[in-house]
Amino acid sequence: MTPSTREDFLWLMSDQAAPLLAKVQAAFENRINAVRIAKTLRKSTTPERSALVMEQAQLRIRARKKFSQADSMFFTRRGLEQSSGGQIGKYKALRFRGLSNVADICCGVGGDLIGLAKRKLLKETDRTVGLDLDELTCFFARKNIEVSGLDPDLVTVEHGDFAGFDLQCMDGVHVDPDRRMQDRTVQGNRFSPTLKSIFERISRDCSLSIKVAPATPRASYFPEDMQREWIGDHRECKQQVLWSGPRTDRPGQRTATYLGRDGKISQISVDESEMNPTIEVVDSIGRCIYEPHPTVLAADLTDHIAMKYELRRFTASIVYLTGDVVVDDPLLTRFEVLHILPLSLRQVGKFLNSIDVGRIEVKKRGIENVTAERFGRLKLSGPSLATVILTRVGRKRIAIIAKRPDNPLQLSPSE
């Protein structure tokens, strides 16, 4: 980073720039044209600083989905994309409660670091250290620590690399290796640092968590008693975490975890030795259709959650589940079946109009995108909303007319 660039970023984090940031952020929220915003900005600062303010204002707006204090924090584009949100960071930090010295390697802008620093500390000598190879990211992480109200004497951010960092006194380590050194990758041997080097450097007596991509596969050098956990919220699987060491919650298992907005945690966990259950397939569709949460799909636990609730697949290669039981579990999205039709645009449109459906959400599995797009363009009239699930029973292509549980849509006896 050149001296002038460093000076510009330090200015961006200063009290002098704060009013400009707030003003530009409000302008973007009010949908004011970006060119107009830039012209106004350049009357009070340089083009370089104007660009920094505009980018930061936009990043803060996007960051609100992850961080409750986003309007006061600082982000790089990559740092925001790769950071754990506040809820996930807090959840992972629970495993580190009571540990004296914890390091967050490749801490980025501080998403996980803030959560780790807010774990329950035991004494004044306890500390949390963030480490990152990028100088600008370190600037922003330090500022975000300050914004979070954390004691800078107990939480520090160091500029450096993993290979040279002293791990001797650490009893807990979280690592978020860079997965974009060249192109985006899910392969642990292409991360920086590599997964193998992390396991080699960190003692088995140290509590370790490594954040990786949901699709990162198991490798031969992974510890046998390691836990793999897929964590998600709302409708997404956000990350896979590899847990090793004394704080491993379920050694040798894989876990799908859903973090609800209300703070409730829903999980299913299965031993790695039990990962090949017999797939049970039925040739009929019951009262309800269930779609597993993306964390369940990523962890390959669809058939295990099916067994738990006595549900079945109706096509072996498709992850929709069915049954007559009503299951209330955030790891499963329930749809109540109203009617089943052949995959015919004309028949589906006619039926939807007959029950006064004017809006539909289209879901699909085992059906090509172009077909789903055609159904999404159906011309309908009426006040009601329905879900149209396009899928297959065996080789037969069907359209299931359904509704979510909170949808009051009902069919008359004649229908």
Render pLDDT for 162-217 as a digit per residue (tens, 0 to 9): 999 999 889 999 999 988 755 678 888 889 999 999 999 999 899 999 999 999 99
Q: Which SS3 state, helix, strand or coil, does residue 358 take?
A: strand
At residue 366, does pLDDT exceed 60? yes
At residue 293, does pLDDT exceed 50? yes
pLDDT band, very low/low/confident/very high, at 413 (cuts 50, 70, 90): very low
Q: For 40-62, what is each residue's pLDDT tens digit?
A: 898 889 999 999 999 999 999 99
pLDDT band, very low/low/confident/very high, at 414 (cuts 50, 70, 90): very low
Please state, in angstroms and rounded to a whole number, the distance separating the CA atoms of residues 323 and 312.
7
Specify the pLDDT at position 198. Answer: 96
Q: For 317-330, what is each residue's pLDDT tens digit?
A: 999 999 999 999 99
CATH architecture group of domain 81-272: 3-Layer(aba) Sandwich (3.40)
pLDDT band, very low/low/confident/very high, at 124 (cuts 50, 70, 90): low
Chain position carrying tokens 């140290």: 206
- Name, in order, each residue with C-beta under 8 angstroms of 120's C-beta and a sequence gap of 6 or more: 97, 98
Q: Are the CB atoms for 193 and 175 separated by under 8 Å?
A: yes
Please state, in angstroms and rounded to a whole number, the distance separating the CA atoms of residues 151 and 210.
25
- Residue 170 CB neighbours (<10 A): 21
DSSP H or E segment with residue 352: helix 345-354
Specify the pLDDT at position 189. Answer: 87
Please state, in angstroms and rounded to a whole number, the distance separating the CA atoms of residues 245 and 108.
24
Q: Are the CB atoms for 92 and 66 separated by under 8 Å?
A: no
The structural domains of the chain, with segments of one domain joined by +, span 3-63, 81-272, 288-403
Please state, in angstroms and rounded to a whole number, the distance separating the CA atoms of residues 258 and 295.
7
Query: Phi first, then psi: what are they for 385, rounded to 5°?
Result: -115, 140
Please state, in angstroms and rounded to a whole number, the distance separating the CA atoms of residues 142 and 109.
8
Specify the pLDDT at position 261. Answer: 86
At residue 227, does pLDDT exceed 50? yes
